[in-house]
Amino acid sequence: MELSYHNEIKPRPKGTKKLFNNPILEKLSRTNIAIPLSVYGIISLAFLYYGIAQMGIGILMTVGLFFVGLISFTLAEYLMHRYLYHHEPTTDKGRHFIYTVHGVHHEFPKDKDRLAMPPLLAVILISVLYLIFELFMGANVFAFLPGFITGYSLYLFVHYAVHAYQPPKNFLKVLWVNHGIHHYKEPGRAYGVSSPLWDVIFRTLPESKK
């Protein structure tokens, strides 16, 4: 079932919107896609090197945990998009929050400066995730978290590409089609951006495709 709040937000073909009166906050709410991709790539490589060279994690274990982390991110991406970003607000404050974190993207889907979480906020989130994962898996976090971060980087790359470029004429076209349907026809479906895997599992593929 599609969510009524996001149905109210009509996508505009171009333009942007000021979210904060404070110029510093407004500046921090925007980012060039190359910045977070570079930062997360460096963090991932540093973690992998430290895990192998300093913590003694084996190569096979590193590869295995890396891919577990990557797949884990695709699930986190789906759940965040479905249950947080598309939460149905019941108060004015709730509507303001949802609009700020995601609704503005639905209104201005072509705004390239708001296709990624601001790097400062993302690095803080990664630090929190490191503390949580390290609590449960110890040194293995240095192999798991890079996979998780790489999953996020792939999501950012795909999300940017589907909004900035025409779809390719190959199997990747499904990513453009699904996300286009999510934005312009069925905001209550197709929550997976980097992969349709969890939409298949949880049966939230677009009705339009059926």
**Arithmetic mean of pLDDT, 4-27:** 80
- Is residue 208 one of the residues assigned to a domain? no
- The whole-angstrom separation of Cα 174 and Cα 193 is 10
- Predicted pLDDT at 21: 86
Burial readout 45-83 (b: 16 or more C-beta within 10 A, e: otherwise)? eebbeebbeeeebeeeebeebbeebbebbbbbbbeebbe
- Is residue 133 one of the residues assigned to a domain? yes
- The whole-angstrom separation of Cα 66 and Cα 146 is 6
- Predicted pLDDT at 209: 56
**Arithmetic mean of pLDDT, 33-47:** 94
- Predicted pLDDT at 4: 60
- Is residue 117 one of the residues assigned to a domain? yes
Asked whether the predicted pLDDT for residue 91 surpasses 50, the reply is yes
Confidence of residue 1 (pLDDT cuts 50, 70, 90): very low
- Is residue 75 one of the residues assigned to a domain? yes
- Predicted pLDDT at 69: 97
Asked whether the predicted pLDDT for residue 59 surpasses 50, the reply is yes
Asked whether the predicted pLDDT for residue 206 surpasses 70, the reply is yes
Q: Which of 153, 120, 131, 117 is nearest to 44 (CA)?
A: 153
- Is residue 62 one of the residues assigned to a domain? yes
pLDDT, tens digit (0-9, with 9 covering 90-100), for 94-104: 888 888 888 88
- Predicted pLDDT at 208: 63
- Is residue 188 one of the residues assigned to a domain? yes
**Arithmetic mean of pLDDT, 144-158:** 96
Confidence of residue 122 (pLDDT cuts 50, 70, 90): confident
- Is residue 207 one of the residues assigned to a domain? no
Q: Which of 204, 14, 8 is nearest to 108 (CA)?
A: 14
**Arithmetic mean of pLDDT, 195-205:** 95
- The whole-angstrom separation of Cα 149 and Cα 152 is 5
Containing structural domain, residue 75: 4-201
Task: Please give the residue that has the higher pLDDT: either 94 or 79.
Answer: 79
**Arithmetic mean of pLDDT, 146-175:** 93
Q: Please give the helix or strand (H or E) that residue 64 lies within, else none.
A: helix 59-79
Count the domains in the chain.
1
Residue 100 near residue 21, CB atoms below 8 Å: no
- Predicted pLDDT at 42: 95
- Is residue 210 one of the residues assigned to a domain? no
Chain Cα centroid distance, residue 109: 14
